[in-house]
Structure 1
Amino acid sequence: MSAIWTGVSGLLSYSTGIANTGNNLANTGTTGYKSSRLLFADMISEMAGGTSDGSQIGTGVQVGSVSMTTSTGSPISASQSMDMAINGERGYFVVKKPGTDKTYYTRDGAFNFDVNGYLTTETGLNVQGWAVDQTAVTAAKRTGTVLSQVPTTGTLTDIQIKDYTSAAQATSAVTMITNLDGQTEPGTLDATDPYFSMFKRYNADNSPPISNTAYSAPIKVYDSEGGTHTLTTYYSKVSDENGKEYWEYMVTMPPEDDGSSTTSGTSKAGVLMIGTLTFSAQGELENETAFTPSGSDPTDLASWTQASLDGSGNPKLNATFRSASNSSNILSSQPIVYKDGLSSSNASWSASAPATAADIGTLTSANAGFNSANTKNAATCTSNYSTSSYTASSTQDGYASGTLLSTSVDENGVISGTFSNGQTIELFVVGLADFVNPTDLYREGNNLLSATKESGDASLGRANSGVFDSVSGYTLESSNVDMATEMVNLITLQRAFQSNSKVVTTADEMMQKALEIKR
């Protein structure tokens, strides 16, 4: 009798093994599928009859365990930008069923945005992530701070794009790096204020307001509504003295765009900042001054006082634009940091620097706005080499509004949107989960897994950080089923099943023979 039950245990166990192998083979093409590994265990043995040495005979076989293998499937190219694959074993995408708190985990990264802007799985579950802290990102860009990773805000939530537009951003910083030809002859100088001769010639009622300058460098900037305006920096050489060169510069906007209560309607409408540049004998910018209007009479140099400096020691101007769509609408004053490559390391003017533009007069020494011990030159800086004047680089940080054109995900799981205004904005960071024992995750079907007591609770994190592997976009993870191995397993299990069926028939024949002897 025991032989029959031993054979039956084999039939039952190997039948389960064949079913497990069949399931693996059936899911060979399932995205992100993890094969199951089935292990057998022997059953309790019993004492062998007729022996005196404690010998035992086994009573059969049973299924010991079925666990999930976590090896990574091969990456395959995909056509959708939101198709993702995790490049290693550490990490599972986190998804939730809408309207519930039920959380699942998956390696199937076939995601797409639905009509409501939610990033979902193919079965409609919402992919989870963290919203990017746009305030922190903008602040970092404006201060030139390099962030170690994209900052996020809030808790893990549904990834949803609610607004398919990018709001306009007003220009807050302009960088204008030029080379001013050292062979240029000085322009016509004012007898009283030679360092502001160009400013004195400027007349908003003329077209153009200023002419006969040594060089001019325009740049397009944006107001708070996304309207465009042109800022032009004019340069004029003043003198060569003791191997150094002194230049006057003036930052302007079109007079008709000027809505400032100080300069609008006057002959100096459109003038935003004036100052001087001092170059060394080697053509390097070594000092500067900068003045902005603060008095009631912008035609008087005494009304132009020291410009304020930002935290990095660059001068700031204030532009009050008229709306590009309605010139009668005057926008709020817009501070703009103006960078020419030279700054003050202690973010302050020298104690002996002229307080107003009028204080410079004819004094060459008064052109030192910064303490020479605190000046700092950027890697690219306005220069005075003996070659044609040119603009080396000009940048600004404003832009108009735009609409979403496409989305993408990088190796850190950061989902970014590309907009029609040329901006790429980081929107969300995909959340990943890891487990102490992922082989014991519970299979829910539809490529979904859930945590169990044996797997442990999920530890959340972001791709390419800590223990978590990186993410690839336009990629899916194939099943990790090895067909060759599974086919060999199938043959082995089939033969084992046949052998155990033979055990059962043989035991049956033995019992039949025993009954015949009795008769």
Structure 2
Amino acid sequence: MSITGSMYAGISGLQAQSQATSVVSSNLANSTTTGYKSSSIVFEDVFYSTVYAGNSADQVGNGVSVASINTDFSQGAYQSTNSVTDVAINGDGFYMLVDPDTDNTYYTRAGNFTFDTNGYLVDAHGNRVQGWEMADDSISGGLTDIQLDNSQSPPNATSEINFSLNLDSTSTDNSTSATSPYTALFDAYDGTAEPPMDDSRYAYQTTISTYDENGAAHDMTIYFDPVETADGDLVWEYVLTCDASEDMRDFEGAEMNTTSGAGALMTGTMTFSSSGDLQSMTAFTLSDTPTDPTDPMAAENWELAEFDTNGLPIFDTNFTGSDENQEITLDLGISNSDYSTGTGWDTTGGIDSLDDLNAATVTDDLPSFNTGVLATGATTSTTSGSATFSLNQDGYAPGVLIDVSISENGVLSGRYTNGQTQDLYTLGLADFTNTQGLYSEGSNLFSATTESGQAYIGTPGSAGFGSIASNVLEQSNVDTATELTNLIIIQAAYQANSKVVTTADTLLQTAIGMKR
């Protein structure tokens, strides 16, 4: 190699080490940047010159150049935050962002997101986070902008009411009848009176709030009264009612709320063992095709109730005047596991209507479920005082969004003032076959290239993708100690290469001086 070749080799070294200094400087500058991925520089030698020495040809290098600058995509440390929408990926994957102005798609590990004034989940530059809408607890449709554009949770009509009670087995029978002991409480009800059930006619009552399809609340009251039986069996009558003025059911073309049956929804009996455990029950509801169209309270108009898919008896309500009645099931702690054939009722005693029950004596066999199954917390009848342990129903009013949360599977859920939690979106993640081929756009963003290949996408926690941590941000993966060490090495290499240049310069000056 000539003297000038030595100088150029030294200069290439200076240039290479200068590039290395830039890489290390950028790493150190971003040592606290959220989601930043450090870079490292790789050198390679350049072409060689052939030198003939004796009978052989040897090679002399001509310096160094930068082979590549690689990005370290290993995961950074976590830092806790107070924002739910600060999210970190535990494992592989990138969040997907779309620029609303250009529709360009970018990828990032920095999860410092917020909701903008239009409800979009965005990064610091307004790029919109991508995900899938949720419907019925599953993903619906394609990738879309995550936007909270509906601040309300829709109402849900009540479809089941549940009572867990104890009925005092020493209570006095207040509604008595020598001819109809099992329907005496039902006979005492009059929807045109105020109140429809006189408090001297029952032993215990409890009330639960339910909801119609429009989200309005309506009280339902169930009345209980014991029946004196000849054999000492513990039997209670019950009548389930709603506010008579709110009963919008249709009865043979007339409004129910103007009749004596206004508010009467279901009636029946409950039979308990000597130890107070619920053994069986009956449930009667108003027939759709009444035998006596003049009086909804006529016993012949009431028939054994049908069952829902859980084996619970069904009754109809209507609070809005809708063409369709609202079906609700009554759960007192016993269900029918055999209702698939026939009516699901065991009527071996010959009683299959309220008219039959009205004529029954205390020695007759009452209808029962084909197979009664007791639930935990079923209604009991013991010498303890009558009490309501729990009231439950599955309806609710509309609610306003008050908070959001993000699960480890990336599901963004909304919590509403009506106590409901609704899954709204699932965050989308992307990954690449060759992450080194990604193009760094700055602002913690990457874009896909032909070298990186097309992104493959999925949900957090699925195969190949990491899970999500909320209230957490992924920090830079820069190792400051390593970078400072590299800086010392680069500085020494730069000084050595500068020495090569100055030495070559001295040699040239010596050669020039030989001409004098």
Same fold per superposition (TM over 0.5) = yes
Aligned partner of 1:494 in structure 2 is 491
Please give the secondary structure, in 2, of the residue aligned with 1:421: coil
Please give the secondary structure, in 2, of the residue aligned with 1:130: strand
Pairs within 5 Å for 1:81-230: 81-86=84-89, 88-133=90-135, 136=136, 150-210=137-197, 211=199, 212-230=201-219
Contact 2:229/2:362 (CA < 8 Å) preserved in 1? no
Aligned partner of 1:283 in structure 2 is 276
Aligned partner of 1:141 in structure 2 is none
Q: Does 1:259 align with 2:248?
A: yes
**CA positional deviation for 1:276:** 1.7
Contact 1:314/1:347 (CA < 8 Å) preserved in 2? no
Give the whole-Å Cα distance in 1 for the aligned partners of 2:230 and 2:143: 64
Give the whole-Å Cα distance in 2 for the aligned partners of 1:91 and 1:243: 71
**CA positional deviation for 1:332:** 5.0
Pairs within 5 Å for 1:9-48: 9-46=12-49
Give the whole-Å Cα distance in 2 for the aligned partners of 1:335 and 1:67: 65
Partner residue of 2:312 out of 311, 314, 332: 314
Please give the secondary structure, in 2, of the residue aligned with 1:209: coil
Query: Deviation per CA, 1:211-251, whole angstroms, max 9, x where unpaired?
Result: 24222221111122222110112222224676752222221
Look up the equivalent residue of 2:134 and give its one-letter code. V
Query: Deviation per CA, 1:278-319, whole angstroms, max 9, x where unpaired?
Result: 223443323222111122332222211122211111111111
Please give the secondary structure, in 2, of the residue aligned with 1:343: strand
Look up the equivalent residue of 2:209 and give its one-letter code. K
Contact 1:177/1:391 (CA < 8 Å) preserved in 2? yes
**CA positional deviation for 1:497:** 1.1
Contact 2:175/2:202 (CA < 8 Å) preserved in 1? no
Look up the equivalent residue of 1:81 and give its one-letter code. V
Q: Based on CA coordinates, which of the two structures has the bigger radius of gyration? A: 2
Partner residue of 1:444 out of 441, 466, 481: 441
Give the whole-Å Cα distance in 2 for the aligned partners of 1:238 and 1:68: 83
Give the whole-Å Cα distance in 1 for the aligned partners of 2:387 and 2:51: 101
**CA positional deviation for 1:132:** 1.0
**CA positional deviation for 1:106:** 0.9
Identity %: 41
**CA positional deviation for 1:66:** 1.4
After TM superposition, the score normalised by the length of structure 2 is 0.89
**CA positional deviation for 1:96:** 0.7
Give the whole-Å Cα distance in 2 for the aligned partners of 1:293 and 1:480: 71
Aligned partner of 1:143 in structure 2 is none
Aligned partner of 1:270 in structure 2 is 263
Contact 1:238/1:247 (CA < 8 Å) preserved in 2? yes
**CA positional deviation for 1:49:** 4.4
Contact 1:415/1:428 (CA < 8 Å) preserved in 2? yes
CA 38–300 in structure 1, closer or farther in 2 if over 3 Å, else same: same
RMSD value, Cα: 2.4
Give the whole-Å Cα distance in 1 for the aligned partners of 2:179 and 2:514: 140
**CA positional deviation for 1:446:** 1.7
Look up the equivalent residue of 1:346 and give its one-letter code. D
Aligned partner of 1:459 in structure 2 is 456
**CA positional deviation for 1:111:** 1.6
Q: Does 1:377 align with 2:366?
A: no
Contact 2:336/2:344 (CA < 8 Å) preserved in 1? no
Aligned partner of 1:350 in structure 2 is 344
Contact 1:70/1:89 (CA < 8 Å) preserved in 2? no
Give the whole-Å Cα distance in 1 for the aligned partners of 2:383 and 2:49: 103
Please give the secondary structure, in 2, of the residue aligned with 1:256: helix
Look up the equivalent residue of 2:155 and give its one-letter code. A
Partner residue of 1:408 out of 402, 405, 410: 405
Aligned partner of 2:327 in structure 1 is 335
Please give the secondary structure, in 2, of the residue aligned with 1:500: helix
Give the whole-Å Cα distance in 2 for the aligned partners of 1:365 and 1:508: 123
**CA positional deviation for 1:76:** 2.1
**CA positional deviation for 1:273:** 0.9
Contact 1:273/1:317 (CA < 8 Å) preserved in 2? yes
Look up the equivalent residue of 1:161 and give its one-letter code. L
**CA positional deviation for 1:359:** 2.4
Look up the equivalent residue of 2:75 and give its one-letter code. T
Give the whole-Å Cα distance in 2 for the aligned partners of 1:55 and 1:357: 114
**CA positional deviation for 1:151:** 0.8
- Comparing 150-159 with 233-242, which one deviates more in the overlay? 233-242
Please give the secondary structure, in 1, of the residue aligned with 2:489: helix
What stretches of structure 1 of length at least 5 have no aligned partner? 137-149, 323-328
Give the whole-Å Cα distance in 2 for the aligned partners of 1:238 and 1:51: 126
After TM superposition, the score normalised by the length of structure 1 is 0.88
Give the whole-Å Cα distance in 2 for the aligned partners of 1:435 and 1:132: 25
Give the whole-Å Cα distance in 1 for the aligned partners of 2:52 and 2:67: 27
